[in-house]
Amino acid sequence: MNELLRRAGAIRCDIPDPREAFGHRLRVGLVVAAFILILSLLG
């Protein structure tokens, strides 16, 4: 769990522009959703 939190902290992005921050969060969310989908299809 600590490793997961450390990696999440590394992915975190501190962008001052709200639009860029939203785009970054959207991309990260889509990647996570695709990863979960792939895992659920394989399992």
- Residue 24 in contact with residue 13, Cβ under 8 Å? yes
Residues for the chain: how many in total?
43
Reported as a single tens digit per residue, the pLDDT across 6-36 is 777 766 666 778 888 888 889 999 999 999 9
Distance CA 43, CA 37 (A): 10
At 29 the pLDDT is 93
